[in-house]
Structure 1
């Protein structure tokens, strides 16, 4: 199968594809214009795209050999699934792939704010640090505090579970009850 990859992805992924397929990767690490995607798909049977790629009905219709669309993303809002389905082209994505990474990033931001990490970094880089002081860049302790989570899906649940190591109380709001969180 001839596959077009719209942006560079980790080399391990390309190697896996190349074991069984002929793969062309966009040589420039930039978002392609729609007409560039259309041109690249003329003789391709597979498409590995990203959430920034507009794979609409026009793109799908202009790719006569296309048999598979795979989105290198959690969602697929950038793909006209109806147009693909009408052509019998399956669409896949990677749900869950960023759950832990996103929860970790949320934790990094939470800690950075609570402990004044960015502010302290700037303070030191600007040469303002003259020595320790009892109240200097004190920040806030988060252990034992309450964490509110809006949306207790995969990411919210992962965030809540990571908060257990800080002995935090969790409050959440979601469209559905979350048994995992309510059992903790």
Structure 2
């Protein structure tokens, strides 16, 4: 795959859901080291599923916790946390990693505010070389392979509905 593009964007909102927070952590750290204001939104179904909060806080100017059941932080979805930040201050970039359905709705939220959004996809991968095609996704109408072209793409160009359908292949 390709490395994350890091630069000083200004204010970056990094939002992660569930285990998506693990690959988000080094991005949070790198974005902060590049001089960005970093606001991290962590989301999970319950308090017990929030991970790496302390580590994310180390490199974030602010951490917002969202839980579906309200057992910790704010009750609600990650999109509510992201949108609350967007409504109160200028956001230059959003980075999202987590379940595909979460990233889809983060992308829909940021698109209406015209904020560039990068997502990191975790499709089914078999060989990691682009030969098998299992990780193929449609990006702006073109076929791409997450294992070699990604894993990060412009979230506004990802066909999330197709990707979600393909992710259900082995259900």
Q: Who wins on radius of gyration, i.e. which is larger?
A: 1
TM-score using structure 2 length: 0.35
TM-score using structure 1 length: 0.33
Structure with the higher strand share, 1 or 2: 2
RCO higher in structure (CA 8 A, sep ≥6)? 2
